[in-house]
Amino acid sequence: MLHSRAIVEVTNAEQAKIAEQAGACCLIVSDPSQRGISCMPDPSLIKEIKHIVLIPIMVNARLGHFIEAQILEAIGIDYIDESEAIALADEDNFINKHNFCCPFVFGCENHGEALSRVREGAAMIRIQGDLSGSGNVAETVKNMRAVTGQIRILNNIDEDKGLNWVGS
């Protein structure tokens, strides 16, 4: 449903309705008061938006903040994005996604990150550019081509060669 379609970030109910009418397949609800550090938006804002749109809602939970993820799941969010906006990935502090029914989405820049996030329980991977938030679309396209190319290679590995082929 979300593959290769527009996912739009919104900060209020009016923007959400406009994005839905414009053809967005999913909304990322973010807190308009947050600058720099990405925190979970107010649950009342999320509920308000959820009541006026029919498309799925995705919300960021900070790295390792499993209480935020539990709150988001309890209010019926469709997807949780464990955001790296406040820090680079820390292999020891990600939310254990296997403890949740709500699917997790996670950004990655390369196939190694993608495989790590899937191992952690991510249901969907989104390809991103650099983590600085520069909006560098060329970097995102480069990463997308690299990850999809590497996935194609992994899909075509002979079973008798297994993963040893990757290291050789």
Tell me, what's the pLDDT at 82? Answer: 82
pLDDT of 96 > 90? The answer is: no
Q: Which helix (H) or strand (E) holds 87?
A: none
Tell me, what's the pLDDT at 86? Answer: 44
Tell me, what's the pLDDT at 133? Answer: 56
pLDDT tens digits for range 11-46: 999 999 999 999 999 998 988 776 655 678 899 999
Measure the CA dihedral 110/126/6/98, to 10°. 170
Strand partners, 8: 27
The CATH number for 7-163, chosen from 1.10.10.10, 1.10.3720.10, 3.30.465.10, 3.20.20.70, is: 3.20.20.70
Q: How confident is the model at residue 7 (pLDDT cuts 50, 70, 90)?
A: confident
Rg (CA), the chain: 17
The structure tokens listed for 138 are: 């060329």
Work out the number of other CB atoms within 10 angstroms of the CB of residue 143: 20
pLDDT tens digits for range 59-77: 988 877 888 999 999 999 9
Query: CA 31, CA 113: separation in Å to the nearest integer?
Result: 26
Percent of the chain with pLDDT over 90: 31
* Predicted model pTM: 0.74
Strand partners, 105: 81, 124
Instruction: For 7-55, give the DSSP string.
Output: EEEESSHHHHHHHHHTT-SEEEE--TT--SS--PPPHHHHHHHHHH--S
